[in-house]
Amino acid sequence: MQVAVERRPTLIFLIVLAVLLVLMTASTRTIRGVGETRTLFERTVMTLFSPVPKTVNRVGQNVSDAYHGYVDMRRSVAENVQLHRRLTELTTENLVLRQTHGDLSRMRALLNYSDQVSMPTVMAQAVMLDTGGRFKCVVIDRGSDEQVELNDPVVSATGLVGRVILTTKDLAKVQLVIDSNSAVGVLLERSRRQGIIKGDGRGMLTMQYVPAGTDVVVGDKVVTAGIDGIFPKGVPVARVTKVEEGKDLFKNVTCAPLADLSNLEELIVLRTRKVPDAVVRYGH
C-alpha cells in the first residue's frame, strides 16, 4: 500500500478529486447515505479545529472588550470633564436666568401696575434702604432730572411704598409708609370707611379714626383714599391684622404693609402733581 501510494501520486490525486467531487455533489444534492456521511465528515473537521476559532473569538472578544472599555473609559473621563464644565456653565446661567426671571416678573408686575395707573410714571431702582433707623426711608436712583418731585408717591408691585421727601438731580429719598412721621389718607376697601394710616416706627401701620361701629375685620384690605392730595385713590397700602375696641369712639386697627418694605428693588414713582404748590410750601 505504501509503495502504491508513493508510486502512484497522480492516481491518488485523481481519487481524492473524485471523492471531493462526490462530497460536493452531496452538499448540493440529497443522496441517501452520502449526505449523512458528508455531514459527519464536515462535523468532524469542525470539531477537530473548533478550539482555534473559539479561542480566537474569545481572545478577540476580550481584547475588543478591553479596548472598548479603555476607549469608553477615556471617553467617559473626557465626557465627565465636559459635563462638569457644562454643569458649571449651566448653573451660572441658571442663576443669571433666575435673577433675570425674578427681575422680569417684578418688572412685569410693575408695568402692569403702571399701565393700570393712568398717570406719568418713572421707573426707579432702590439704591439704599434704611428701615432699621428711626426714620424709614429708601433712596432711589431717579431724581429731578427725571422729573421726580417732592411728594411724588412711590409704589412697588405689591403696594404703596411711600412718598418722595427729597430729590437731587439723580437721586430721591422716599419716606416709607411705616415711618412714624408718615400719614396717608386711606379707606377700607370692603366697607369703604375712611381713615388715616400712620407708621408705628416698628414696621407696622396703625389706621386711625375708624369709628367703633365700623365693619372691619382682620384681613380687610386698606387702599389709599385719594383725599390727601398726594396719593392717588385705590393704591393698595396694607391689610388689617388686628382690630381692637379703642378707649374713645374709634377702633384701634393695626395693619401690615402690603409692600415688602424690607426688600425693595424696582419701584415706580407716580407723578401725580396733585398737591398745590401752596400746600407744598406750607409743608416745608
Could you list the beta-strand ranges (E) of 80-182.
121-130, 137-140, 153-155, 160-167, 172-176
* Cα gap 9→12, rounded to integer Å: 5
Strands 172-176 and 205-211: unpaired
- Least separation in angstroms between residue 49's CB and other proteins is 5
Which residues sit opposite 121 in a β-bridge? 270
Instruction: Write down the least CB distance from residue 47 to other proteins, Å.
Output: 9
Q: How far is CA 86 from the centre of its chain?
A: 18
- CA–CA separation, 122 vs 148, rounded Å? 7
**Residue 106 cell numbers, joined:** 417684578
Report the residue from 1, 3, 28, 132 that binds other proteins according to the rule CB under 8 A: 28
Owner of C-alpha cell 479603555: 70
Question: Closer CB to other proteins, residue 9 or residue 33?
Answer: 9
Smaller CB separation from other proteins, 17 or 218 = 17
Which H or E run includes 65?
Answer: helix 51-116
Minimum distance from CB of 76 to other proteins (Å)? 24
Of 3-11, 76-84, 136-144, 269-277, the window that binds other proteins (rule: CB under 8 A) is 3-11
Give me the 32-61 binding string for other proteins, x by CB under 8 A, dash otherwise: ------x--xx--xx--x--xx--xx--x-
Residue number with CB closer to other proteins (36 or 93): 36
| Sole window of 13-21, 108-116, 132-140, 152-160 interacting with other proteins (rule: CB under 8 A) | 13-21
* Total residues interacting with other proteins, rule: CB under 8 A: 30
- Does residue number 25 form part of the binding site for other proteins (CB under 8 A)? yes
Least distance in angstroms from the C-beta of 59 to other proteins: 9
13 binds other proteins (CB under 8 A): yes
The answer to whether residue 16 forms part of the interface with other proteins (CB under 8 A) is yes
Under the binding rule (CB under 8 A), the answer on residue 3 touching other proteins is no
> What are the residues facing 160 on neighbouring strands?
155
245 forms beta bridges with 251
Those residues whose C-beta lies under 8 Å from the C-beta of residue 147, and which sit 6 or more positions away, are 120, 122, 271
Inter-residue contact 124 to 142 (CB < 8 Å):
yes
Rule CB under 8 A: which residues touch other proteins? 5-13, 16-17, 20-21, 23-28, 38, 41-42, 45-46, 49, 52-53, 56-57, 60
